[in-house]
Structure 1
Amino acid sequence: MKKAKKHSVKGIAEKLNISPTTVSFVLNGKAKEKKISDEMIERVLAYVKEINYKPNQLAQSLRTGKSKIIVFMVEDISNHFFASIARKIEDLAYEKDYKVLFCSNENRDKKSRDLIQLFKDRQVDGYIINPSPGIRDDIEKLITENIPVILFDRYFPGLKTNYVGIDNEEASYRAALHLIENGFKKIGFITLATDQTQMANRKKGYLKAINENGFAHKVLEIEFEGGNHQRRKELIKDFIFKEDLDAIYFSTNYLTQSGLEVFKENSPELIDKFGILTFDDHEFFKIHTPTISAIAQPKDEMASELMKLMLGMLKNSNKNLPSKEIILSAKLFPRNSTIQKGK
Structure 2
Amino acid sequence: MEDAYDAGAVTALRRIAFLLERGRQDTYKVKAFRAAAAAILPLPESEVRERAEAGTLTELPDVGASTAAVIADAVAGRTPERLARAEEELGGPLTARGAGEALRARLRGDLHSHSDWSDGGSPIEEMAFSAIEVGHDYLVLTDHSPRLKVARGLSAERLQRQLGVVEAVNAHLDGAFSLLKGIEVDILDDGSLDQTEDMLERLDLRVASVHSKLAMEPAQMTRRMVTAITTTRMNVLGHCTGRLVTGGRGTRPGSRFDATAVFEACAEHGVAVEINSRPERRDPPTRLLELARDAGCLFAIDSDAHAPGQLDFLVLGCERAEAVGIEPDRIVNTWTRDRLLAWANG
TM (norm. structure 2) is 0.30
Higher Cα Rg, which structure: 1
TM-score normalised by L of structure 1 = 0.31
| Structure with more of its chain in strand, by fraction | 1
